[in-house]
Amino acid sequence: MAGRVYLVGAGPGDPELLTVKAYKLIKNADVILYDRLINPEILEIAKPDCKLVYVGKEDGKHLKTQEEINNLLLFYAKQYETVVRLKGGDPFVFGRGGEEAIFLKKHKIPFEIVPGITSAVSVPAYAGIPITHRGLASSFAVITGHETPEKAKSSINWESLKDIDTLVFLMCVNNRKYIAKKLIEIGRNPKEPVAFIHRGTTSSQSVVETTLEKIVASNLSIKPPSVMVVGKVVRLRNLIDWFKPEVLLKLQEEIA
């Protein structure tokens, strides 16, 4: 009799941003297969005899391929009652959770999806950047920043990003110049504000503010993992009085 696999989103980093369900599953899991971006404090929630299996990935350093991770899920599900596949953010936002769900379904392994708070929204929020804002930004898109310039055919519909108010790129640090160039090429303002938020929601969070043209022209010191936010909303960051109607009205007029 196979156990059950839980594809769990661990949120953006702060352990207090775990969902109640995720917390309970981590606490009671027999096995946890976890990614590189999982905060070590979250793993401390696990019971002492829980088997912790690191399956992290980073550019050029894949400890395990996706196929190997899939097979590990199958292996442990046949031996243990509760297997948690722990992913940063949400498992279905560039987390390859869909691929793992299809694999488990194919092999008749019971599984459950446990959504997490995606870093695409929560990390900018913790940095004081609302990705939508009345009168300023009514649309946003979340885009992979992992695609390299060498790729023969882009999977990103770049033209569609021209008129979206706020763009959020994940896994983008190494390709930030390529991204900035592409956005300028499709017609976005070279002076459009950009923020890179490093290790958002954690005690080591830091923010670098810049513009598209400056990203292209200089070698800014940006460390992974960082979320890249492009749009006028970046200018709302750290404005202590931005929530006051009279100040907000003036600011919106300036930005527009």
Question: What does the pLDDT look like over 25-59, one tens digit per residue?
Answer: 999 999 999 999 999 999 999 999 999 999 987 65
Q: If we measure between CA atoms, which residue out of 10, 56, 59, 60 comes closest to residue 33?
A: 56
CATH code for the domain defined by 120-255? 3.30.950.10
Give catalytic status of residue 1 as yes or no. no
Question: What does the pLDDT look like over 167-203, one tens digit per residue?
Answer: 999 999 999 999 999 999 999 999 999 999 999 999 9
- Which one of the listed residues 57, 64, 177, 214 is annotated catalytic? 57
Give catalytic status of residue 228 as yes or no. no
* CATH of 4-117 among 3.30.70.260, 3.40.50.300, 3.40.800.20, 3.40.1010.10: 3.40.1010.10
- Which one of the listed residues 14, 87, 90, 171 is annotated catalytic? 171
pLDDT band at residue 152 under the 50/70/90 scheme: confident
Give catalytic status of residue 35 as yes or no. yes
In the prediction, which pLDDT does 240 show?
A: 45
Percentage of the chain lying above the pLDDT 90 cut: 82
Domain ranges of the chain: 4-117, 120-255
